[in-house]
Chains A and B, each alone.
Chain A
């Protein structure tokens, strides 16, 4: 049964830029980056609380930033589920590594943080990797 599910042809997305599954992954990535930062702000508030609840992440729920972060996560989840309808999981998930391009670039642009040579080469590798991933989809579609 599972073989049949995996073998089922992937459906075609609705026309238009917004409904492109790759754009939806991009949206999910941006929202996740925002969520991670908001959650870190929220989690820092409870760093001095060493109870079991805190270790399980429950006491962080008292913070407003945490809830904003959760909201961003829910929105990114919607985009992610949409993209999963059209793309294989392994490939789609690897594309989400794009978040590691935007966080350093955002820190450089907005916070004027320095980008070291090592970090710049990492960003370059991620970009090349994403191009390979995108190409692998294009080639797979050609064969269908």
Chain B
């Protein structure tokens, strides 16, 4: 893979994490109701914008390299999301949650390696 592809992959993953955090934040704020919920649409639009960046970069990369080479990255992207949610949304997973995250990631790596 060329440096350009790597760069696009890193930017796309960043856009994915930022986008998902904004989406979650928008949906959480929406639940607060009335006054407190104000501005949730703006956050949602920001999240959709970041996801659009991710989507277009992903599409561009996908036309250059095989899906099978991209799948391992797909497998570990939940780890980035979980870390982002821990830092920025203060989400806490219990040990079962962490075990689930790690097992599914290893499982995806095995599926895509075969």
Contacts and interface: CB of A to CB of B under 8 A. Distances in A.
Interface of A: 2-3, 5-8, 10-11, 36, 39-40, 43-44, 46-47, 54-58, 60, 66, 73, 80-81, 84-85, 88-91, 93-94, 96-97, 100, 104, 116, 118-119, 121-136, 139-140
Given A6-B90, A132-B99, A94 B78 contact: yes
A132 B63 contact: no
B69 to A, nearest CB: 12
B94 A140 contact: yes
6 residue pairs, one from A and one from B, having the closest CB atoms:
A122-B110, A129-B103, A125-B107, A57-B59, A133-B100, A126-B107
Given A84-B23, A136-B97, A129 B107 contact: yes
A85 B23 CA distance: 10
B49 interface: no
Interface string B1-32: 00010001000000000001101110111111
Contacts of A133: 96-97, 100-101, 104
A97 B82 CA distance: 13
B108 A94 contact: no
Contacts of A2: 25, 88-90
Residue from the set B27, B81, B88, B93 with the largest chain A CB neighbour count within 10 Å:
B27
